[in-house]
Amino acid sequence: MTDVGDALTGAEEAELQRRRELRGDSDEHGREDSVVSPLADSEEGAIEGALRPKRLDDFVGQHRVREQLTLLLRGALRRGRPPDHVLLSGPPGLGKTTIAMIIAAELGAPLRPTSGPAIERSGDLAAVLSTLQEGEVLFIDEIHRLARPAEEMLYLAMEDFRVDIVVGKGPGATAIPLDIAPFTLVGATTRAGLLPAPLRDRFGFTGHLDFYQPAELGIIVRRSAGLLGVRIEDGAIEELSLRSRGTPRIANRLLRRVRDYAEVRADGLVTRELTRTALELYEVDELGLDRLDRAVLDALIRRFGGGPVGLSTLAVAVAEEAETVEVVAEPFLVRHGLLARTPRGRVATPAGWAHLGLTPPPSADLPTLFD
């Protein structure tokens, strides 16, 4: 517990220093990232790492994936061989990186992390693979973004633990086979559909991570509060769990923002009422919608009568890039049934109208397949 506390103290100091260094850059861009964004914040990486569970027994949620991984890892340890390669898919912020770290810890093996965009050429991948130790865990985040030459080299490495190094060019080029130590690849992706079938088929285990239930998020918030030394009531834990979009990363981030509010504006005790007040200040409503989410929903309903309206038009209406609206705001609105994507454009659902306290017109019903 002392080690965790020391790690958190050092992580928070490092984050404070980075924020001081990057403050000018943040002001220049005009606004910071949303507090409910599921994407990783590089400034919070150290603290997020210190809050991660280190063993499968401590991992909350994802019961089926956790049970399956337990069998996979214990079976491999009994046989004394590296386990099958593991593919983890699901939305950001649900614990794919955490599980990769846990796999390495359970195997007692080193973890070699990298990412798909960082491997631009097959030579980059060959350099990584050739230095792996036997049994080491190679973690490739965003594996769907691997360059095609590196991807084809990975096929052979995953199957035969061998890579072919091409020396020379043209007719005189020669492929030199290079044996590599047996390893376990853990790939993480938020877009499993973009993985080529040959690569996907080479993974012996595939686990899909789903959004968390409020009760599971409550356990995570309580654990993180204990590690951070936050005094928090049960009602506040429940409130945070309901507004965290089913994502542990967001739950931990909101907890830290509410902690700041409690320490500055109150006596440090986080209550339900204080949590509501703090999250109102950060523009996070009772469903977890932030400013951008509500702006998209409001523009769709008040300016365009509930739709249908095109993505680019909607993005202009809220003064954001179309990609930001599509990637950041829409998935959560669609998942909660507040917005629908149709062939004719985006349409607000009756639930979306109700969330803004408005009554949908009779024509606000969603179009059918034949419309």
Are 292 and 318 in contact by the 8 Å Cβ rule? The answer is: yes
Find the catalytic residue in 97, 189, 247, 349. 97
Find the catalytic residue in 243, 245, 249, 346. 249
Are 95 and 212 in contact by the 8 Å Cβ rule? The answer is: no
User: Which helix or strand (DSSP H or E) is residue 177 part of?
Assistant: strand 174-179
User: Which helix or strand (DSSP H or E) is residue 78 part of?
Assistant: helix 63-79
Residue 148 Cα to chain centre, angstroms: 24
Residue 170 Cα to chain centre, angstroms: 43
Are 288 and 243 in contact by the 8 Å Cβ rule? The answer is: yes
Cis amide linkage into residue 350, ω under 30° from 0: no
Find the catalytic residue in 141, 189, 245, 259. 141
Has 271 been annotated as catalytic?
Answer: no
Both tokens assigned to 54? 């280190």
The 3-state DSSP class for residue 81 equals coil
Both tokens assigned to 40? 């990783």
The 3-state DSSP class for residue 205 equals strand
Has 27 been annotated as catalytic?
Answer: no
Has 54 been annotated as catalytic?
Answer: no
Has 169 been annotated as catalytic?
Answer: no
Alpha-carbon span 82 to 183, nearest angstrom: 6
Phi-psi bin for 168: left (phi > 0), alpha (psi -120 to 50), beta?
left
Find the catalytic residue in 98, 184, 189, 190. 190
Amino acid at 107: L
Query: 288 phi and psi, to 5 degrees?
Result: 95, 5
Are 337 and 350 in contact by the 8 Å Cβ rule? The answer is: no
Has 275 been annotated as catalytic?
Answer: no
Query: 347 phi and psi, to 5 degrees?
Result: -130, 135
Q: Computed from CA positions of residues 178, 192, 220, 64, in that sequence, does the dihedral angle turn out positive or negative?
A: negative
Alpha-carbon span 360 to 131, nearest angstrom: 61
Find the catalytic residue in 96, 245, 276, 346. 96
List the catalytic residues: 96-97, 141, 190, 249
